[in-house]
């Protein structure tokens, strides 16, 4: 049975990775504990050398290679964090690697891969998603007869990630009730669940996926591994069209359930972690914490661990993270507003439509001399979601011709 083999592999992995992997702190969050009425602990995998848990699985897999396998070199595909783990292991073990990454990978992650791997790695950017890069990597690996280091669907990779579960069992012990972890391909949560269930079968392991890439959620729902037609790549570390066969088999048997988290909620969580705890989390790294609202009733009064899985966030992404967060909170809205092309129209809008705490944050308008009326794009930021209805009512009272932009519109996608 795969879980018994995996549990033994986790024990062996713990010894194999000991020289390079630190045991990050298990940090209690007073803010989250108070909010959810629980004892909320954060497993800080963002504090690893490569700022994510991926170093565990990558190093475990590569350290177990035979001398002839090491000589052939390795190939991997990654949205960023697994690539950094592989690059680190390459430099530590003297193994050469060709690393395939999506073209949309944040520059910060690409630079970090080159930093850790140095002359041992060759980085190639292919496709728009992890799955595109994975196909290219598989073909190249077969052509070169190299060893493929899979980011999640490999027993040794899963075992390396499972050492986190082993540590949690030792650090929290019998008090541990619930563990929440993000899911991309499923390697992290598969290993953690296998390790924990071996010593405490009653522990509840809950997965969290972005709403825009629900590959494990959909696979479990249908009872088979499914391939999504498309994914939202914003939460790049979890944007996987197809989970692994091994990880699916483990997850469908050991997970309590998988919850879906809107990308905007993930963004809000990233901001809150930075503003309150001073934690720099990437979107995929914050998934577990972002899922807490979905399971609030289940965790009240319990000891809960959220695995904060990664902190490789490019500072250039923060404007978009802020934007998505505000939209998710119902505090930012865009309108197409038609103004009569005569003096005083904007003043009337500001004086009579806007509330005292409403703020115009975007205004695009070009006067057209041959028309009586002209349309403007107006972005408005509200203090709270409840301020929207009064704003719409005041617009109607002054008979303003306006149309809210909906999220499925192409122009809205351009703005966000």
Residues designated catalytic = 54, 309
Residue 221 burial class via C-beta count within 10 angstroms: exposed 0-12, middle 13-18, buried 19 and up: exposed
Q: Give the whole-angstrom CA distance, residue 334 versus residue 415.
A: 9
Ramachandran category for residue 94: left, alpha or beta (phi over 0 → left; psi -120 to 50 → alpha): left
Q: Give the whole-angstrom CA distance, residue 326 versus residue 13.
A: 42
Phi first, then psi: give them for residue 264, nearest 5 degrees: -65, -35
How far from chain centre, in Å, is Cα 248?
A: 19
How far from chain centre, in Å, is Cα 48?
A: 17
Phi first, then psi: give them for residue 260, nearest 5 degrees: -105, 135
Let me know how long the chain is: 416
Q: Please state, as a whole number, how many other Cβ atoms lie within 10 Å of the Cβ of residue 380.
A: 22
**Strands, sheet with 147-148, edge to edge from the N-terminal-most edge strand:** 121-125, 97-101, 74-77, 147-148
Closest CA to 357 of 384, 327, 394: 384
- For residues 267 and 231, the answer to whether their CB atoms sit within 8 Å is no
Closest CA to 88 of 66, 61, 43, 120: 120
Task: Please report how the helices 245-254 and 2-16 are oriented relative to each other, as an axis angle in degrees rounded to 10.
Answer: 110
Closest CA to 330 of 376, 265, 394: 265
- For residues 308 and 43, the answer to whether their CB atoms sit within 8 Å is yes
State the DSSP code for 268: H
Q: What is the largest CA-CA distance in the chain?
A: 79
Distances in whole angstroms, Cα of residue 273 to Cα of each of 32, 290, 306: 10, 10, 13
């Amino acid at each position: 049975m795969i879980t018994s083999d995996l549990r033994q592999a986790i024990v062996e992995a713990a010894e194999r990775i000991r020289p390079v992997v630190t045991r990050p702190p298990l940090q209690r969050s007073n803010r989250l504990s108070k909010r959810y009425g629980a004892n909320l602990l954060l497993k800080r995998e963002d504090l690893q050398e490569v700022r994510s848990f991926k170093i565990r699985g990558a190093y475990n897999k590569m350290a177990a290679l035979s001398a002839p396998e090491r000589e052939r070199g390795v190939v991997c595909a990654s949205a960023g964090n697994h690539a950094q783990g592989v690059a680190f292991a390459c430099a530590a073990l003297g193994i050469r690697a060709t690393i395939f990454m999506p073209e949309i990978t944040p520059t910060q992650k690409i630079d970090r891969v080159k930093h850790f791997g140095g002359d041992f790695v060759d980085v190639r950017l292919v496709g728009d998603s992890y799955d595109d890069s994975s196909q290219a990597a598989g073909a190249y690996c077969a052509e070169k007869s190299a060893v493929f280091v899979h980011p999640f669907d490999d027993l040794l990779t899963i075992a390396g990630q499972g050492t986190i579960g082993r540590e949690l069992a030792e650090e929290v012990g019998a008090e541990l009730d619930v563990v929440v972890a993000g899911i991309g391909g499923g390697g992290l949560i598969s290993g953690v669940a296998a390790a924990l269930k071996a010593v405490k079968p009653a522990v509840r392991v809950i997965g969290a996926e972005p709403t825009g890439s629900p590959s494990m959620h959909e696979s479990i729902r249908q009872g088979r591994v499914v391939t999504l037609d498309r994914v939202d790549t914003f939460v790049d570390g979890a944007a996987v069209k197809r989970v692994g066969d091994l990880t699916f088999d483990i997850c469908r048997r050991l997970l309590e359930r998988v919850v879906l988290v809107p990308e905007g909620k993930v963004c809000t969580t990233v901001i809150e972690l930075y503003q309150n705890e001073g934690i720099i989390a990437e979107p995929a790294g914050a998934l577990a914490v972002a899922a807490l609202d979905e399971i609030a009733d289940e965790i009240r009064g319990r000891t809960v661990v959220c695995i904060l899985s990664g902190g490789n966030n490019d500072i250039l992404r923060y404007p978009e993270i802020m934007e998505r967060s505000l939209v998710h909170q119902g505090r930012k809205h865009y309108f197409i507003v038609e103004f009569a092309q005569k003096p005083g129209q904007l003043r009337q809008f500001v004086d009579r439509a806007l509330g005292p705490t409403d703020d115009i944050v975007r205004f695009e308008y070009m006067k057209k001399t041959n028309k009586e009326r002209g349309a403007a794009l107006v972005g408005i930021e509200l203090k709270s979601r409840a301020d929207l209805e009064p704003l719409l009512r005041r617009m109607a009272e002054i008979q303003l011709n306006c149309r809210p932009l909906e999220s499925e519109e192409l122009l809205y996608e351009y703005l966000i």
